[in-house]
Amino acid sequence: MGTNDDAAEKILDGITVVDLTTFVTGGFATLMLANQGAEVIKVERPELGDDNRHSGPPFVEPNEEYDGPGRTADANGESPYFWTINYDKLSVEFNLKTDSGLEALYDLVEEADVVVENFRPGTAERLGIGYDDLRELNDDLVYCSISAFGETGPWSSRPGYDLLVQGTSGIMSVTGPEGGDPVKVGLPQTDLITAMWAAFGIVGSLFRRELTGDGDRIEIGMHDAALPWLTKQAGKAFVGEETTRMGTKDPVLSPYQAYPTADGYLNVGCANQKLWSELCEAIDRPDLIDDERFASNPDRVANMDELEEELSAVFRERPTEEWVDLLAEDHGLPVGPVYDVATALDNEQTEARDVIREIEHPALGTVPVIEHPLNYEHATAGFDEAPPLLGEDTEAILDGLGYDAEDIDRLREEGAIPDDE
């Protein structure tokens, strides 16, 4: 990503993050920190690693000739899903159920700025790596705990994943076709929501530490994290109105949905009066402007089904690209295509913004990377390194902590780190 300042650095240069998490919530939070320059060290279970390493298929086989440090955790190879959450990180394997593995982690934490964990409440304390344990080693530590339902309340001991929280948060109740079954959003939405709150809280705590010199603990429940995102649906519930599944329709705006075209779908977001009138003129339906059913946005919302019937009949007459050219390009109206994922990742706009790049990977040649969207005027951002192989950096990190070859051999003998392959 570009900058006008030749001396610019990344915002979090010099910050070290110890990532004790698995799967997506903590992993995406620390990915955001890595993108901004933090050194993120994943502490993984020996041999198994992060559960997300096994998320597949698909898997990609490493180059047979690679003989460097680290290895794939899954016999099938590398998971592309794992890549998308772990660019620019380092990986060490510590067995935290051994005394020497725990001591190695303690040595790492003494030099760190941030620790992130997403164990079920109480687990970190049982392992000896809770906030109080680690604060004894590093009193200005920023410590972030993530769990499904938080550490208080009747659900606090429950396990949870994105699917469960999409259900408890109400998201599934307003997602899916009208009159149909509840539908999960087609990506791990509550994992990612929680991750972004965590990264926001960590950066806020680091800023506060700069002002006060004090560390802090951040505690986040996924269920709590999802609720603020209900916005307009919450607004309806607050005044006793029912919230329902509406397909692509919107509860308070119209037209604001997807319409079928001759070869696909077109999203139309012309909900204010000016845009509505301009849309009617552009599609050669000026009669709709004077139709009392559609006179104002509240009228259009009240008569949404009738409006959908009128506009669908028009949009089915041409393919999506023709409508986009006419309405978005020629008339400047907010309409756009509905792309599949492959097309979203590979189109002229994505390419022009340099969002998808390739990064060299020691065992795979190159891997694609999705860049994060922050572009600064006086700082840089972006990923520099491929996601790590399991345990790729164990010896290098230990060496940096002052462990010599004899110490590392002792850790192997005691089961704190894996034997050489």
* Whether residue 38 sits in one domain with residue 83: yes
Q: At which of 291, 307, 337 does a domain end?
A: 337
Residues annotated as catalytic (active site), given as ranges? 191
* Whether residue 110 sits in one domain with residue 145: yes
- CB count in 10 Å sphere of residue 72: 21
pLDDT at 98 over 50: yes
* Whether residue 280 sits in one domain with residue 218: no
Let me know if residue 117 belongs to a domain: yes
pLDDT range class, residue 56, cuts 50, 70, 90: confident
pLDDT at 4 over 60: no
What is the predicted pLDDT for the residue at 238? Answer: 97
Q: Under a CB-based contact definition with an 8 Å cutoff, are residues 381 and 374 in contact?
A: yes
* Whether residue 175 sits in one domain with residue 37: yes
Mean pLDDT of the chain: 95
Let me know if residue 22 belongs to a domain: yes
* Residue showing tokens 């429950």: 158
Distance (Å) of CA 69 to CA 19, 100, 192, 395, 412: 20, 21, 31, 9, 15
Q: What are phi and psi of 134, to 5 degrees?
A: -80, -25
Of 108, 93, 112, 92, nearest to 38 by C-alpha is 112
* Whether residue 403 sits in one domain with residue 283: no
Q: Under a CB-based contact definition with an 8 Å cutoff, are residues 47 and 394 in contact?
A: no
Residues 6+ apart with CB under 8 A from 321: 337
Let me know if residue 244 belongs to a domain: no
* Whether residue 35 sits in one domain with residue 157: yes
* Whether residue 387 sits in one domain with residue 303: no
Let me know if residue 314 belongs to a domain: yes
Let me know if residue 237 belongs to a domain: no
AA identity, residue 321: E
* Whether residue 188 sits in one domain with residue 56: yes
Let me know if residue 254 belongs to a domain: no
Q: Under a CB-based contact definition with an 8 Å cutoff, are residues 62 and 78 in contact?
A: yes
Q: What are phi and psi of 17, to 5 degrees?
A: -120, 125
What is the predicted pLDDT for the residue at 420? Answer: 67
* Whether residue 120 sits in one domain with residue 36: yes
* Whether residue 96 sits in one domain with residue 66: yes
pLDDT at 80 over 80: yes
* Whether residue 273 sits in one domain with residue 387: no
What is the predicted pLDDT for the residue at 191? Answer: 98
Q: Tokens for 329? A: 């390009």
Tell me the per-residue pLDDT of 261-289, one tens digit each, with 9 for 90 and over.
Answer: 999 999 999 999 999 999 999 999 999 99
Of 160, 222, 157, 152, nearest to 191 by C-alpha is 222
* Whether residue 176 sits in one domain with residue 31: yes
* pTM of the predicted model over 0.85: yes
Let me know if residue 343 belongs to a domain: no
What is the predicted pLDDT for the residue at 6? Answer: 45
Q: What is the total count of domains within the chain?
A: 2
CATH for 404:
3.40.50.10540
pLDDT range class, residue 5, cuts 50, 70, 90: very low
pLDDT, average across residues 252-269: 97
What is the predicted pLDDT for the residue at 63? Answer: 86
Query: In terms of DSSP H, where are the helices of 153-213?
Result: 162-168, 189-212
Let me know if residue 235 belongs to a domain: no
Q: At which of 337, 362, 380 does a domain end?
A: 337
Q: Residue 61 half-sphere exposure, CB side, CA atoms within 13 Å? A: 3
- CB count in 10 Å sphere of residue 357: 13
Structural domain including 220 reads: 16-228+353-413
Q: How far apart are CA 337 and CA 9, in angstroms?
A: 37
State what percent of residues in the chain have pLDDT above 90: 94
Tell me the per-residue pLDDT of 309-345, one tens digit each, with 9 for 90 and over.
Answer: 999 999 999 999 999 999 999 999 999 999 999 999 9
Q: Is the Cα dihedral 403, 408, 414, 417 positive or negative?
A: positive
CATH for 321:
3.30.1540.10
Q: Tokens for 269? A: 């977001």
DSSP-based three-state secondary structure for 80: helix
Q: How far apart are CA 115 and CA 109, in angstroms?
A: 8
Of 176, 180, 203, nearest to 116 by C-alpha is 203
DSSP-based three-state secondary structure for 116: strand
